[in-house]
């Protein structure tokens, strides 16, 4: 983990916070299926997976509004329709996570960090109610010290509130922490909290290159990348 150590003066961070969708897991197939079911209940054509991929990242409520609008821009969506659509989407999504897959190297990286004594937190805009079952289903039930969903606290990313909360729980400063994510919301939340940020290039980010957000480090994979090079303590 040479490049990672370089961000922290030769040491490892004391806390690493991870985004979920588009960072650790490819969840778009299940999200798209739930979106299409919600639209079908309203007699609308399916959105399809590629459009949903660009809409993900700002929580379930915004995803539903974008689906109802058929666009990233959703200001004109009726509030009652948005509320009923969200309820239907959440019901459809709760029933099936079988299409969601971990990205290569994700489980190994989490295990390596935990083995090295690094505390881990999940900070996602996905509703908290889905996290325990989803993590257990993918073999990550015991991977995190803290779970923060999009509705756990009053605000969600890109607001840095969840990151500040984790720092407080862990009793560490921002200089001792790292955030790993795939979207501009992740990078902007980390920067606002004063936390170093690693961005993965394979995620969603509304179809735009995450490099434009200028993360501290950009990686193409969680497996076999120079920032996770084997050393005396880690070998994901």
Q: Which two tokens stand for residue 82?
A: 């948005």
User: Within a 10 A sphere around the Cβ of 227, how many other Cβ atoms?
Assistant: 16
> Tokens 């996290």 identify what position?
131
User: Within a 10 A sphere around the Cβ of 147, how many other Cβ atoms?
Assistant: 16
Handedness of CA 47, 133, 236, 115 (dihedral sign): positive
With beta carbons less than 8 A apart as the criterion, state whether 169 and 17 touch.
no
Question: Is residue 78 annotated as part of the catalytic site, yes or no?
Answer: no
d(CA 59, CA 111): 27
With beta carbons less than 8 A apart as the criterion, state whether 45 and 37 touch.
no
With beta carbons less than 8 A apart as the criterion, state whether 222 and 202 touch.
no
Q: Which of 19, 21, 182, 186 is catalytic?
A: 19
With beta carbons less than 8 A apart as the criterion, state whether 236 and 111 touch.
yes
With beta carbons less than 8 A apart as the criterion, state whether 28 and 204 touch.
yes
d(CA 138, CA 99): 11
Supply the residues annotated as catalytic. 19
């Amino acid at each position: 983990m040479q490049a990672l150590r370089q961000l922290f003066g030769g040491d490892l961070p004391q806390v690493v916070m991870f985004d979920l969708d588009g960072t650790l897991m490819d969840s778009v197939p299940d999200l798209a299926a739930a979106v299409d079911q919600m639209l079908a209940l309203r007699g609308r054509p399916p959105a399809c997976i590629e459009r949903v991929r660009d809409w993900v990242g700002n929580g379930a409520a915004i995803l539903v509004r974008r689906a109802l609008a058929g666009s990233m821009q959703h200001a004109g969506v009726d509030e009652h329709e948005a509320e009923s659509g969200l309820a239907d989407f959440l019901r459809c999504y709760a029933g099936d996570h079988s299409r969601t897959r971990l990205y290569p190297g994700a489980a190994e990286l989490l295990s390596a960090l935990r083995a090295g004594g690094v505390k881990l937190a999940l900070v996602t805009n996905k509703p908290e109610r889905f996290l325990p079952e989803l993590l257990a289903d993918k073999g990550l039930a015991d991977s995190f010290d803290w779970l923060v969903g999009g509705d756990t606290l009053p605000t969600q990313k890109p607001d840095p509130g969840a990151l500040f909360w984790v720092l407080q729980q862990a009793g560490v400063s921002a200089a001792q922490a790292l955030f790993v994510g795939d979207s501009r919301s992740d990078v902007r939340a980390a920067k606002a909290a004063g936390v170093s940020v690693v961005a993965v290039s394979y995620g969603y980010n509304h179809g735009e290159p995450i490099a434009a957000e200028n993360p501290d480090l950009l990686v193409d994979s969680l497996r076999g990348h120079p920032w996770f090079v084997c050393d005396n303590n880690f070998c994901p």
